[in-house]
Amino acid sequence: MIKIALLGIAAVVLALQFRNGKSEYGTLISLAACCLIFYFGVGMLTAVLDGIDRILSYTAIDSEYLKILLKMLGITYAAEFAANLCKDAGYSAIGSQIELAGKFAVLAAGMPVVISVAEVIGNLLGK
């Protein structure tokens, strides 16, 4: 995490050098730093996935629910990442639309869980 923090700070300091002159270079530096930080952050997910696999081996939780949860998590991270990049570049309307689309995608990804819960409730009520 320290490397990622230092990369972010270095990118900000470097981008600040271009604030008054060629501001597009600052935007490109910011974009490159965001992509690198995102890449390193995704690399850390392997440890999380290994831990989740261990937890699943100890419990009787259906792995489909975990896959849906991870898909929803990925959607939110990707949408937030893209929206923040757009907003930083000055295109906040596009960033807001990406956030909205991300919310709809999370809702769509979670529908199997909602349907499953509704079926369980229906079975308990005898319908």
Reported as a single tens digit per residue, the pLDDT across 92-120 is: 899 899 999 999 999 999 998 888 888 88
CB atoms closer than 10 angstroms to residue 118: 10
Q: Residues of the chain with pLDDT > 70: what percent? A: 99
Q: Which tokens hold the place of 47?
A: 């440890």
For residue 55, give both structure tokens: 């937890």
CA distances from 66 to 21, 34, 51, 73 (A): 49, 28, 12, 10
Are 110 and 72 in contact by the 8 Å Cβ rule? The answer is: yes
Write down the pLDDT at residue 127. Answer: 66
Where in the chain are the domains? 63-127
Lowest mean pLDDT segment, chosen from 18-27, 29-38, 82-91, 116-125: 18-27
Are 75 and 102 in contact, with CB atoms under 8 Å apart?
yes
Residue range 56-73, pLDDT digits in tens: 788 777 778 888 888 898
Mean of the per-residue pLDDT values for the chain?
85
* For range 33-44, the mean pLDDT: 84
How does DSSP assign 42-101, residue by residue? Answer: HHTHHHHHHHHHHHHHHS---HHHHHHHHHHHHHHHHHHHHHHHHHHTT-HHHHHHHHHH
**Predicted model pTM:** 0.67
Burial class (CB in 10 A: 0-12, 13-18, 19+), 63: exposed
